[in-house]
Chains A and B, each alone.
Chain A
Amino acid sequence: MFFRMVKGALFRQRGKMLMIAFTIALGASLATAMLNVMLDVGDKVNQELKAYGANIRVVPQGRAVISQMYDVEGEENAQSQYLAENELGNIKTIFWAFNIVDFAPFLDTQCTLNSEKENIKVTGTWFTHHLSLPTGEELDAGMVSLRSWWEIDGTWIDDNKDPNVKEAMVGADIARKYGLKPGDTLKLSCGKKAENVNIKAVFSSDGEEDSVIYVPLALAQMLSDKKGLVSSIDVSALTTPDNELAKKAAQKGPSSLSKSDYETWYCTAYSSSICYQIQEVITNSVASQVRQVTESEGSILEKTQLLMLLITILSLIGSALGISNLVTASVMERSKEIGLLKAIGANDGPISGLILTEIIITSIFGGIIGYFVGLGFAQIIGHTVFNSAIDIKPMVIPIVAVLVVTVTLVGSLPAVKMLLGLRPTEVLHGR
């Protein structure tokens, strides 16, 4: 009988119940959309901030020490002059791997163009290099995202399918000087080796790079006879702004820290601890912070997240108020029915059970619809604001479920309680 009553209430008053479910769906969709966007905004902002380039440079020990001490370039020990290309993937295996958003290796060499005399800096690098890491993670690293602000005339080199493509991207200054344009063929002569390359693009970075020619790493290795070697690595990492502890570790070295300080430092994403960890995985390397903007990156991220959090909380409160209002009103509307049930002998428990069951079924129905509609909203927000899809976070489901159930219960319980307090005579004889 109980289910017959619930069924009757739900199906024979479809219009009314759908109205309530609709409001709940609206509230739930708002909550779902905002929560999903909020939880994903960190990643989205990271991706945007990545556009501002690298902030950590990794160089071989020999080069770092010699250039610091003598300011000359020695060649005596190739081991300490170069880093191994095959160790690059290790960067994504450090403790703070998740904070490493991108990186690219470089190998510099000097070449002449066509029949000209002047030596030009030719740098081999990754453009989009697909890495399958031992952790199972997949990553596209390289200049395409690390230098996303370059203005390109032509198209990026695609070294992913074929790392040995004979192509080049020419800096705007050189292109102007030698009258080069995309589509031209260019002869690079570097010491004993020479190669004809196809110009894919002319780029403008408004910096020193405009007088560099970039080629795929494999090509530079071949031209300079440095197979499997790279001369530096640019890493873009999200870091926590430095504090006293980080400064101390950076100045006096991590060994000067007490054991617990060391642990705190190691397990915080300070640039110095990330550098330290990179050194641990790349043989004979020295990693150092080259750009201080990480601080503002951190605070921009924090501020965006705070803003999103506030908007989300406000929208949750808004939908909670809307839902509980309607639920309260819909329960109050039933005063006559509740009075009647009491008059024919129903106790408070069964009456509340009946009404709450109906409300909860309605809210679950509305909540599920709202959840999926909300996912749609989230994608619309993602595409209009970030030009990319929002990742769906499963943890939003329990949050929205708890929210909807709590809000509907909070909305209906006081109303039910109030109605149970009424004596049947007060509602039945419409005085």
Chain B
Amino acid sequence: MSLLEVKNISKIYGSLKALDNVSLKVEKGDWLAIMGPSGSGKSTMMNIIGAMDKPTLGQVILDGKDISKESSKSLTQIRRDKIGLIFQQFHLVNYLTALENVMVAQYYHSIPDEKEAMEALERVGLADRAKHLPAQLSGGEQQRVCIARALINYPEIILADEPTGNLDEANENMVIDIFRQLHKDGSTLIVVTHDPEVAEVAQKTIVLEHGKVAREVINNEK
């Protein structure tokens, strides 16, 4: 059984089909990239997979459970237990330190554990910035805090919507390296990106156009 199976989903806004009958399978440990022009439905797709939104039609089966018709309360629980989210705009709580931002995810998941949160920051190379507020961190550092926060509860899937969209080359490479490491450790990753360099390090790239899967590219393992 696949970890994630998207079956014929459509998302319809009035007369606009943001997603049009899309199907997709993701196995445990997969690293999938989603590309496509602006407005092609990438974020819509991620929101549905990330249990933040529901499809108009079709089913999303995550870990053997259909989440396409759940109440918003149980969707919250699914997000908390199974999904790690990374955003283009980082989205950190601006009055909490890097460390506390990671601990917030622990707090809402189970119980905060400062030591474990610190280790997560170490993994993304930010141990020395633990006590800094987001405003005192660079964009790349903020994004790494986000990654640490997404990892902290050992999610089934890590979803990143344009994680490098606001980063320069050096920080982008750092983020790619972290993803590589995560993949090596067995994490399941889905990354939306405009950047071919970010896409080609994934195992497989899906290209969306007008809400449909236009093509799939299998990248050669390097």
Contacts and interface: CB of A to CB of B under 8 A. Distances in A.
Interface of A: 1-2, 4-5, 8-9, 12-13, 336-337, 340-347, 350, 423-425, 428-430
B91 A336 contact: yes
B171 interface: no
16 contacts: A4-B96, A4-B103, A8-B96, A8-B100, A340-B92, A340-B93, A343-B79, A344-B149, A345-B79, A345-B109, A346-B108, A350-B108, A423-B52, A423-B53, A425-B53, A429-B161
Given A345-B77, A428-B87, 18 more contacts: A1-B100, A1-B106, A5-B107, A341-B104, A341-B108, A344-B79, A344-B85, A344-B149, A345-B76, A345-B81, A346-B80, A347-B73, A347-B76, A350-B108, A424-B52, A425-B52, A425-B53, A429-B47
Contacts of B92: 340
Contacts of B106: 1
Contacts of B104: 1, 5, 341, 344
B89 to A, nearest CB: 6
A103 B47 CA distance: 84
Contacts of A341: 93, 104, 108
B72 A344 contact: no
Contacts of B85: 343-344
Contacts, number: 79
Nearest to B50: A343
Contacts of A8: 93, 95-97, 100
B120 interface: no
Contacts of A13: 94-95
B141 to A, nearest CB: 18
B112 interface: yes
Interface of B: 43, 47, 50, 52-53, 72-73, 76-77, 79-81, 85, 87-89, 91-97, 100, 103-109, 112, 133, 149, 161
Given A1-B104, A5-B100, A337-B93, A343 B52 contact: yes
Contacts of A424: 52
Contacts of A345: 76-77, 79-81, 105, 108-109
A4 B109 CA distance: 16
B52 A344 contact: no
A425 B105 CA distance: 18
A344 B100 contact: no
Contacts of B161: 429
A2 B106 CA distance: 12
Nearest to A16: B95
B72 A423 contact: yes
B91 A1 contact: no
Given A8-B95, A424-B52, A429-B43, A346 B100 contact: no
A337 B95 CA distance: 10
A426 B176 CA distance: 28
